[in-house]
Structure 1
């Protein structure tokens, strides 16, 4: 019964905030990432450089682009679903309904984390598959895929998706301080620049302890955001 009610709340929130628009934006972002993945090897070939010469480096770059993109998406969703409603006082209307306050916030956070998780998984698959298909025709790189390599990449993508589901909640803390939409989005952009950085194949995200710690921090911030909400005046 509790799960059914939560699913109904999630569906109502998704309908209320027109989540299809964000899905469409994610699809457009995928197209841009596909174009970038194809253009970068061409530019390197013209300039005589050889950095993205195999699928390992290409998929690493794609995963980095996806991570950076959807951390920002998480910040935008948090700003729209939570911070903006506090700022405009519309959160009060939700709290009038015969449901515990924390369930409304939890439903919103589930939407943000689930959207981030699915977007990272699907975007990595879509962009990587599209690049592979284009590469089979254009021969941008001559590397060959193996089953072992594909399985390793699948594990990497799943780890990224789970981590980002938590990391993407960190901007919530900065947004809730003064109920500021700009602070939420700016913090997401800064977080994206750190997590999405890649120096000669090295990324902070490659140090497993860093994304795990950041994900834990994100989930803790999410918990703190609604822990005492039953006793807090939204005004």
Structure 2
């Protein structure tokens, strides 16, 4: 399994996605500053209250960041899975002296773990940078403390697992027609739906965890679905 994972990393040039994650982190930092500055534009606008304070800013940013990484996950799955199992390419995969199950699991594992790790590192870097600048700019009007950082880490971990699960669901849908656009569009639509749900439940930590567990279970179901589809595939 480790050998298969190393082959996937070399074959699909993981450095490309590392650079993409860095670009996402820089872009998201800009959005975080924008979110924090928004209440200052219209101090009397009640709608701007959703951007005020870390208790609102952290979950709102987390949901937005989750949607972005969902799309990146779908793009990776399109390259790792959809393209490799389309046309005549499966002939090469099925010629390996390794079970089909291990091959598809290695692909799912690489993308899933990369999505979680890259999102966690990205968010931590973004909020640490924001917290340092807050000592000089004071956009939020409250010190960035260690307890706030713990809140960021907790929210990020939950959102990252949701993002990884959505990626698996999207590739499962896209695999039916072996379609890259279907995979990416599915991730966007599911991420949009989850954003609406998560934004309404982020004030309840228990509910947020329940949503995450449900999405993980759905992701596992779609993983089993993919394994069965690959095992039953016939190369034309």
For structure 2, the 5+ residue unaligned runs are: none
Give, in angstroms, the shift of residue 210 of structure 1.
Answer: 2.6
- Distance in 1 (alpha carbons) for counterparts of 2:203 and 2:113: 20
- CA offset digits 1:9-46 (Å, max 9, x no partner): 11111111111101111110111110011123323312
| 1:151–1:175 Cα change, 3 Å | same
Q: 1:3: which partner in 2?
A: none
Contact in 2 for aligned 1:168/1:188 (Cα 8 Å): yes
- 2:125 is the alignment partner of 1:130: no
- 2:58 is the alignment partner of 1:28: no
- 2:62 is the alignment partner of 1:63: yes
Give, in angstroms, the shift of residue 228 of structure 1.
Answer: 5.7
Give, in angstroms, the shift of residue 129 of structure 1.
Answer: 1.1
Q: How many residues align?
A: 229
| 1:148–1:47 Cα change, 3 Å | closer
Contact in 1 for aligned 2:25/2:126 (Cα 8 Å): yes
| 1:76–1:121 Cα change, 3 Å | same
In the superposition, the TM-score normalised over structure 1's length comes to: 0.88
Q: 1:216: which partner in 2?
A: 217
SS at match of 2:142: coil
- Distance in 1 (alpha carbons) for counterparts of 2:151 and 2:28: 21
| 1:190–1:228 Cα change, 3 Å | closer
Cα RMSD between the aligned structures?
2.2
| 1:222–1:145 Cα change, 3 Å | same
Give, in angstroms, the shift of residue 190 of structure 1.
Answer: 0.6
In the superposition, the TM-score normalised over structure 2's length comes to: 0.87
Match runs of 1:141-160 below 5 Å: 141-160=140-159
- 2:234 is the alignment partner of 1:233: yes
Given the alignment, which residue of 33, 37, 41 partners 1:42? 37
| 1:198–1:228 Cα change, 3 Å | closer
Q: 2:166: which partner in 1?
A: 167
Contact in 2 for aligned 1:164/1:215 (Cα 8 Å): no
- Distance in 2 (alpha carbons) for counterparts of 1:23 and 1:87: 25
SS at match of 1:197: helix
- CA offset digits 1:102-129 (Å, max 9, x no partner): 1111110001110111122112211111
